[in-house]
Amino acid sequence: MATTSATTFSIGSTVSFGSRGNPLPQSKPFVARFTSPNSLASFSGLKAATYVNCESESSFFGKESSAALRGSFVPKAQKANQKSQYGLQPVASYKVAILGAAGGIGQPLALLIKMSPLVSALNLYDIANVKGVAADLSHCNTPSQVQDFTGASELGNCLKGVNVVVIPAGVPRKPGMTRDDLFNINANIVKTLVEAVADNCPDAFIHIISNPVNSTVPIAAEVLKQKGVYDPKKLFGVTTLDVVRANTFVAQKKNLKLIDVDVPVVGGHAGITILPLLSKTKPSVNFTNEEVEQLTVRIQNAGTEVVEAKAGAGSATLSMAYAAARFVESSLRALDGDGDVYECSFVQSDLTDLPFFASRIKLGRKGIEALIPSDLSGLSEYEEKALEALKPELKASIEKGIAFVQKQPVTA
């Protein structure tokens, strides 16, 4: 990347300055500008030497992040200017494992995570074809060291000492296939992988992407319970794609700057269980009844939109990888001490009468610090009815996942 007097660099999910670069986790991008006496002398990958004049654009965070980021960074930069000849030194210190790294989601997800300045080690696992993916990624000049692991015999080594486990493994949807059709195959895959997580890195954050998430997250919870290591604060169903889609579609529909838009999405991660709370859109915007219905249906069916457009060649892989990378980066910042990280996720919850529910959560070093109930208050009449309508289907999916594990006890 060329060096100029005002260098611009973009790192997919975030730019982390030092070990405590504290951007907020909102779903909107931001631009942060920092000035210092000298320009960038050298830049290699994510490692900047001497002082930096930079403009960074991150596609994951909102404009309100800049104040918090400046508040965190500027005093440190000033102190660094007084004490050291070096300015910004992104510190990579976390180990991430992707289980299913050779697949359609796994490969772009691995690339995005490889770009994170917070990752020191990236372990890639799959049952086949992962060695080439790892070799390819290892040529990228970013801090994380890439290792590949193939087959069940190497799964344990892949997981040892890992801080965040991401599970996109499974078969994708094909035309005419519902998420429920995926259940029998993907349920067993998730069960097997989570057993290995329980045995090798029980304290890790676990991110479940494998569909149907409404069932696979309860499956993971039951496995961890039977293994005696279940921590509900560290198990997440990745529903970030629903938020990403909602933000995109609303911005397009209402001609808004995408950087400004934030739409919370609650419920589950399939069909009518996906409930975008358009009445809670930020910035505040008015929708006609027709617009609400059209947008809600499009967000709910966006996965099918991609499946049909690919005409049998796959499902949503790139957008899912993008959304999952955003959630991983939020988790890493929370682990790194960022005190203001919020995302929507499908987790164990008491916000409704369902045992699992997707809502906005606050993330911290120990996982979920708080569920955010305010999004569920003051809903529109349409949203109230939709919330009640989704509950039976979501309840059935949760119970299906639980029953699957109870019928097939985990191995000791």
User: What are the structure tokens assigned to 158, written together?
Assistant: 């892949």
Other C-beta atoms within 10 Å of 78: how many? Answer: 11
Q: How far apart are alpha carbons 84 and 104 in whole angstroms?
A: 44
Q: What are phi and psi of 199, to 5 degrees?
A: -80, -25
SS3 (DSSP) at 124? strand
Catalytic residue among 179, 269, 360, 395: 269
Cα–Cα distance, 243 to 266 (Å, whole number) = 9
Both structure tokens of 212: 């149907």
269 is catalytic: yes
Q: Are strands 341-348 and 356-364 parallel, antiparallel or unpaired?
A: antiparallel
Contact between 192 and 159 under an 8 Å Cβ cutoff? The reply is no
User: DSSP 3-state assignment of 313?
Assistant: coil
- Contact between 73 and 21 (Cβ < 8 Å): yes
From the number of C-beta atoms within 10 Å of its C-beta (0-12, 13-18, 19+), residue 85 rates as exposed
Residues designated catalytic: 269
